[in-house]
Chains A and B, each alone.
Chain A
């Protein structure tokens, strides 16, 4: 297969500049039965997260005496990708489930709810790269709107390298053909990293540059999360 040209005259295949985000849309309270829910769109990537709990955890042997158990599920809809994805968990979604849980666990005050559980379900309705960071952004919004005690929100974004150029917010095509990609999540007000995953080859300087870029972007995303949550309580007749 011939390799696609990913960069043309400084523009990416979807017309963006290297350090430009796709259009981001966020909404809270999209699932009425859930305690908290959110929908986040990064361009064509759409994730919907719902949070239930803290609620009682059964069977009892799963309970932790002093903390609550965070349970997470990342699932890609069969129609979310070009070629039908066979439904159900596979190696990739099991890994992402764990990655998302580990990215969110440090911000939640788990010791406030001994023996209970918090369930997070993330469904990817449409996948076009960077699904894990979209999922984390949605889950963090859903947790906050469910009233779960947290140290901070979690904001996430992806960065990478194509044709020797460092880029922000990879889409599907770039993700498949990139030289390197890096998923990044952090607590924006505390300046602490909760997720850092890298695939590919980067030099020390490139990593430092990308981390700086990701950090600044996460702060921008945090501002969006913040305004959408505050808007929820301003929406009166």
Chain B
């Protein structure tokens, strides 16, 4: 494969561009007026922002992102949620359940128990990375049946595609229900989920190639 089909990669410490009054996005740092890359990734120089999309790395929660979490702890008035990140999130009772619950009489594991899988929203992240999640958003629910797979969190945008193009393609071709969490956990349910997983793992492996959508389309078309 020739070099033209591969996106340009920058290394940590590599000079990207002069700042020229632009905003500093993720994955870059500033020294004087010069913008350098922080990570191994693909640089994006846009009209108002310079950033680098990392090619590897762990998931760091950001407010507003929707993730798939696994309940790891049941406490008196909330749940500990493993969100595939260095930081465990907390789901308070009030953010998890609609109805009124009298905690002195109820064991809240009847709502969510250990190892339950939930689709939730990051509602709060403090400076010291104390993370809170909420179920009070469109689409947030407990995920029943199906299976979950893990991919590199930094590849999630590529799996979703521009405006959801890639994931919709996989959904349409395989007829699976798929939910992609920003933290790299993907939930699938449906008859042809093996085919969908194969496609997702291919995207993960070859995310830096241009023209991936066509390749996946061909792969699923068979």
User: A residues near B, CB below 8 A?
Assistant: 35-36, 53-57, 65-66, 107, 109, 112-117, 144-153, 187-190, 226, 229-230, 233-234, 236-237
Please determine whether A187 and B13 come into contact, CB atoms closer than 8 angstroms: yes
Evaluate contact between A149 and B86: CB separation under 8 angstroms: no
Which residues of A sit under 8 angstroms from B29, Cβ to Cβ?
109, 151
A55 and B58: CB pair below 8 A? yes
With A55-B58, A113-B86, A145-B56 known to touch, is A153 a contact of B9 (CB < 8 Å)? no
14 A-B interface contacts by CB (under 8 A):
A54-B58, A107-B12, A112-B60, A114-B128, A117-B86, A144-B40, A146-B56, A147-B154, A149-B39, A149-B57, A151-B13, A189-B14, A230-B11, A233-B9
On whether the beta carbons of A147 and B13 are closer than 8 Å, the reply is no
A147 to B55: give the CA distance in the assembly, Å.
7
Could you tell me which B residues sit within 8 Å of A by CB distance? Answer: 1, 3, 5-6, 9, 11-15, 27, 29, 36, 38-41, 54-58, 60, 86-88, 127-129, 154, 206, 208-209
Q: How far is the CB of B130 from chain A (nearest CB, A)?
A: 9
B57 lies within 8 A of A237 (CB): no
Contact residues of B: prevailing secondary structure:
loop
- Chain B nearest CB, measured from A176 CB (Å): 35
B11 contacts which chain A residues (CB < 8 A)?
144, 153, 226, 229-230
Question: A144 CA to B39 CA in the complex, in Å?
Answer: 7
Cβ A234 vs Cβ B58 within 8 A: no
Does A150 contact B208, Cβ atoms closer than 8 Å? no
- Give the top 6 A-B pairs by smallest Cβ distance, nearest first: A147-B57, A152-B13, A147-B56, A116-B86, A150-B12, A149-B38
Do residues A53 and B58 form an inter-chain contact, with CB atoms below 8 A? yes
Docked-complex contact A147 and B129, CB < 8 angstroms: no
Tell whether, in the assembled complex, residue B12 and residue A152 are in contact, meaning their CB atoms are under 8 Å apart: yes
CA distance A153 to B154 in the complex (A): 21
| Smallest Cβ-Cβ distance to A52: which chain B residue | B58
B-chain residues with CB within 8 Å of residue A153 when the two chains form the complex = 11-13
Contact status of A147 and B206, CB under 8 A, knowing A116-B87, A233-B55: no
Residues of A near B154 (CB, < 8 A) are 147
Chain A residues near B127: list those with CB within 8 A.
114
Q: Which residues of B contact A149 (CB under 8 A)?
A: 12, 27, 38-39, 57
Q: A65-B128, A114-B129, A150-B13 are in contact. Are A237 and B55 (CB under 8 A)?
A: no
Asked, given contacts A147-B58, A150-B39, A237-B1, whether A53 binds B86 with beta carbons under 8 Å apart, the answer is yes
Query: Out of A56, A107, A144, A145, which one reaches B86, CB within 8 Å?
Result: A56
